[in-house]
Amino acid sequence: MAVVEAFRLPLSEDLSGFIALLRRLRVPCRVSEEAGEQVLRVPAETVEQVRQLYQRYPQGDGMVVTEQPARRGGGFFASLRRSPLTAAVLLLTFIVAAITLLGGNFETIRWFSFTDFRIDGDYAYFATLEQTLSEGQWWRMITPIFVHFGLLHLAMNSMWYWELGRRIEQRQGASMLLGLTLLFGVISNLSQYAFGGPGIFGGLSGVLFGLLGHCWLFQKVSPNEAYRLPPGVVVLMLVWLVICLTGVVDVVSFGTLAIANAAHVGGLVAGCITGVVGGMLARRA
């Protein structure tokens, strides 16, 4: 099946509605960025019909597009079935939150922390990373992402993982989401340990900044509907990162809330790299 160029449009043109219309009509299509323009390619035998359709419905047919969720149907539980890995990661996160009492049970937290530790009176003694790895405790490279401190910490991170994880799982598959989650988890944990030293830290936020960077730059390099984030989301997350880096949050919370800034930055940088690479590969596909 020969695939040809249907038309070119400026990057500022929102094609999401029209792409949704084509998918609803089961017309194969691919959008890529070339020379500062969006290029829509479709099978050669459909190109004239697609051009005529765009003339009539450049923003998509509202009636057709709004029928799509209803056709897929099923609400929340259907979303779980369509995103099993995203749901599984969140389930594991909730289980760890329960057995660690949301950061209150240090006897169980020590099994998930980046390095082992023991508490003696008012002091905590941590093993080194070298000791941890020499004892074969490799699981600690990833397990801190499942530890959360407080209900708000858990709720916010879970909400964002559900939003970003589903996009990647449905666009690039469960294996890609698993690989990115593990990669960003290890990188963010290592970054926090390298810059913050031994300590108790945790949460999905380093992974979330990685997933955000991945979706953001993947969409820039290879525009697609799945990774088109709501307006202002990227700006909001980056502003929050900058605020955390200034130390304002630590001051306002009187030291009761420590932000793992190195984990956030490490995850974001890694996500931006995978987003660019993934987008370039998608354009060549």
Inside any domain, residue 142: yes
Same domain membership, residue 200 and residue 128: yes
Contact of 6 with 47, CB cutoff 8 Å: yes
Same domain membership, residue 99 and residue 15: no
Inside any domain, residue 67: no
Contact of 163 with 222, CB cutoff 8 Å: no
Give me the pLDDT at residue 63, please: 42
Same domain membership, residue 173 and residue 37: no
Instruction: Report the C-alpha gap between 227 and 242 in whole angstroms.
Output: 23
Same domain membership, residue 141 and residue 33: no
Q: Which helix (H) or strand (E) segment is 41 a member of?
A: strand 37-43
Is-catalytic flag, 214?
A: no
Give me the pLDDT at residue 64, please: 39
Give me the pLDDT at residue 98, please: 97
256 is written with which tokens? Answer: 């009761």
Tell me the CA end-to-end span of the chain in Å, nearest whole number: 14
Inside any domain, residue 64: no
pLDDT in tens, the chain (285 residues): 688 999 999 888 888 888 888 887 888 888 888 888 899 998 888 888 888 888 887 877 554 333 344 344 456 777 788 899 999 999 999 999 999 999 999 999 999 999 999 999 889 999 999 999 999 999 999 999 999 999 999 999 999 999 999 999 998 999 999 999 999 999 999 999 999 999 999 999 999 999 999 999 999 998 887 888 877 888 888 898 888 888 776 655 444 456 889 999 999 999 999 999 999 998 886
Same domain membership, residue 269 and residue 146: yes
* DSSP classification of residue 34: E
Is-catalytic flag, 205?
A: yes
Same domain membership, residue 122 and residue 256: yes
Number of Cβ atoms within 10 Å of the Cβ of 241: 17
In the block, residue with structure tokens 């194969």: 28
Same domain membership, residue 218 and residue 102: yes
Inside any domain, residue 123: yes
Same domain membership, residue 46 and residue 174: no
Same domain membership, residue 116 and residue 40: no
Inside any domain, residue 30: yes
Q: Select which of 32, 205, 214, 222 is catalytic.
A: 205
Instruction: Report the C-alpha gap between 166 and 281 in whole angstroms.
Output: 21
- DSSP secondary structure string for all residues of 83-113: -HHHHHHHHHHHHHHHHTTTTT-HHHHTTTS
Say which CATH number the domain at 217 has.
Answer: 1.20.1540.10
Q: With CA atoms as reference, report the closest residue to 4 among 36, 37, 39.
A: 39
Give me the pLDDT at residue 212, please: 96
Contact of 221 with 243, CB cutoff 8 Å: no
- Count up the domains in the chain and report the number: 2
Same domain membership, residue 164 and residue 279: yes
Q: With CA atoms as reference, report the closest residue to 100 among 153, 141, 136, 137.
A: 153
Structural domain of 125:
76-284
Contact of 145 with 189, CB cutoff 8 Å: yes
Give 243-248's long-range contacts (Cβ < 8 A, gap of 24+). Answer: none
Say which CATH number the domain at 40 has.
Answer: 3.30.70.2080
Q: Hey, what amino acid is at 161? A: Y
Q: Taking the model in full, what pTM does it have? A: 0.74
Inside any domain, residue 68: no
Same domain membership, residue 200 and residue 123: yes
Contact of 114 with 203, CB cutoff 8 Å: no
